[in-house]
Amino acid sequence: MKKWNLDALYKTFDSKDFLDDIKQIEILVEQGNNYAVKEFNDNQDAARKLNEFMEIQEQLRVLFIKTMVFSRLTVSTEALNEDARKYMSVLQQLASKSTLADTKFSKWVPTLDLKGVFKDDQSLEEFKFYLERIVEGSKYVLSDSEEMIISRMRQTSSTMWGQLQGELTSTLKVEYRGEELPLSAVRNFSSDKDPQVRKDGYDAEMKAYPKIAQSVAYSMNGVKAEVNTICDLRGFDSALDQAVYNSRMERSTLDALLSSMKDYLPHFRKYILRKAKLLGHDGGIPYYDLFAPVGKSSKTFTEEEAMEYIFENFRTFSPELEDLARRAYDEEWIDFTPRMGKRGGAFCSNIHPIKQSRVLTNFTGSFGNVITLAHELGHAYHGDQIFKEKIFNSSYTMPVAETASTFCETIVKNAALKDADDNEKIFILEQSLKGSTQVIVDILSRFIFERNVFETRKTTPLNEKMLCDMMEAAQKEAYGDSLDEDYMMKYGWLNKPHYYSGGLSFYNFPYAFGLLFAKGIYAKFKEQGDAFVPKVNLLLQKTGQMSVEDVAALVGIDLSTKEFWNSSLEVIKGEIDLFLELTK
């Protein structure tokens, strides 16, 4: 069982390094607050003040990232680790105390003549986007006291609700064939070769959820009500408008994306119905078979074999990408397998202060697990590019966050298809289409669900039955008749942590954006070859200091109309057509 190594951050919570950094954070928070109160009353010596304050804030960010990431990564594999939970709370409270300085800075910067400031100190032009973004967002900033109250209240509301959902799902014991297993392990049965294992796993999963459904429903209500309240106070028309603004994208871009996705739903439904038929179902597919393998492939992977497969295929893009994956494996960045207390799913955490990432997966050896691993290593590659920038220019938004990851998925899938015979092609194509269907069709259902939850929560609390009904309705709208209404995933709201963040709503459409954006970029790579690699690297590097539309323009892509999105969806339609032809 290969686990990640966090020693590059800290060895333990009682180590001198960790405790010293906590104390230094306390000092820097107070220093930043005092500086803001003293200096942000006039515009004299603006360049000096910017440099001095941003130096304090940079030191603070470095220490906050290191200590908080160490705590969060520990909790993600040890849900009940008391030290990690304790310091997450300590750090959240310290972050709340820093709100005074952040608010005063956010109000002071818009009063400056930034052109004059850049003329006085050209080195500050490096942070032009960061500072101009503050000016643009100033209309959403509340008074000092209101911002302080919101920050402090979040620590006892949405933050705790999110932690509750994470703890309950990480520690839920599922009764499966006479033994107790973690939820993450049972959910992995959905891609097992044995149809009875898939069905039994689904039944066990659905029987386990009611044990925690009421508590998690309270979590959902707490998070969404808080977001609605704060959006109203700040002047956003809705949580979706706030999410689009925070994504640094235009609403027209999102509307074009969603419209294209809806236009192509009939093609995805044809694929799903064909898969249902191949698995012996008459009509729509039951949810427990949605992830079933189709086609002939007896291949399973050990962790070492999976990584070698990824190394080989990443090399087809660039030696730099392969080297990054080798570093991740050799330096123990990856926590591979499921276990009790470890959260489900997969993620990658980019850690700017140490120029490394950490990857969590729940690897059990399937080809789909290999694709997930490639996806998360793509996030790590994005991190490696963004680490070239200063920390103030390193925060990229959710839509572009999925670009490198989906690009790396595409590399591995296309390489696997290249030399496959027809039987193997069916298997690989189906793996690819299974992922694309999740990112287009299922993501659309999640988007519809979350939008409806936010709207309904304005007037009424939502109990577990209402949430289940809303999830099923959203799935019917997206899947149509391709999903068996008797076997749906009505608890999809409970097992997705993305719904339980007070600071990040609608973490669903970015996946669709990333898939189709990456498809377009990959097509350009195939056209231009090695000469395009530096352009991709530059695109990733600049995602922290551009809008998504400007990032796309770096590689000649216009996101403002459906033309680009349709062209990427046509690539997936081609895969669907080939799958349908091969499985006649």
pTM: 0.84
In this structure, what is the dihedral angle of CA atoms 514, 564, 538, 373, given to the nearest 10 degrees? 30
Annotated domain spans of the chain: 16-156, 163-296+425-513+565-582
Which two structure tokens, joined as six digits, stand for 565? 């999105």
Q: How far apart are CA 342 and CA 340, in angstroms?
A: 6
Side chain identity, residue 424: E
Pure H helices in 247-291 = 251-263, 265-278
Count how many Cα atoms sit within 13 Å of the Cα of residue 548 in the half-sphere of its side chain.
Answer: 27
Residues of the chain above pLDDT 70, percent: 99
Average pLDDT, the chain: 94
Region 434-456 average pLDDT: 97
Q: How far apart are CA 519 and CA 435, in angstroms?
A: 13
Report pLDDT for 428.
87
Contact 103, 40 (CB under 8 A): no
Q: How far apart are CA 528 and CA 524, in angstroms?
A: 6
Report pLDDT for 474.
98
The answer to whether residue 298 scores a pLDDT higher than 70 is no
Which two structure tokens, joined as six digits, stand for 475? 């799935």
The answer to whether residue 475 scores a pLDDT higher than 70 is yes
Q: Is 112 helix (H, G, I), strand (E, B) or coil?
A: coil
pLDDT digits 0-9 by tens, 158-207: 999 999 999 999 999 999 999 999 998 899 899 898 999 999 999 999 99
Name the DSSP class of 298: -
Report pLDDT for 53.
97
Region 115-126 average pLDDT: 94
Report pLDDT for 1.
63
Q: In Å, how far are 191, 200, 286 from 482, measured between CA atoms?
A: 18, 22, 9
- CATH number for the domain formed by residue range(s) 163-296+425-513+565-582: 1.10.1370.20
Q: In Å, how far are 221, 430, 460, 576 from 293, measured between CA atoms?
A: 36, 8, 41, 16
**Cα–Cα nearest to 189, from 553, 179, 147, 231:** 179
Which two structure tokens, joined as six digits, stand for 255? 């509307």
Contact 264, 397 (CB under 8 A): no
Strands (E), 299-408: 334-335, 347-351, 356-360
Q: How far apart are CA 194 and CA 197, in angstroms?
A: 5
Q: Is 2 helix (H, G, I), strand (E, B) or coil?
A: coil
The domain 16-156 belongs to what CATH superfamily? Oligopeptidase f, N-terminal domain (1.20.140.70)
Pure H helices in 387-490 = 398-401, 403-418, 422-437, 443-457, 464-479
Q: In Å, how far are 151, 237, 272 from 231, measured between CA atoms?
A: 14, 7, 38
Contact 279, 285 (CB under 8 A): yes
299 confidence band (pLDDT: 50, 70, 90): confident
Contact 283, 305 (CB under 8 A): no
Directed axis angle between helix 99-108 and helix 144-155, to 10°?
140
Report pLDDT for 415.
83
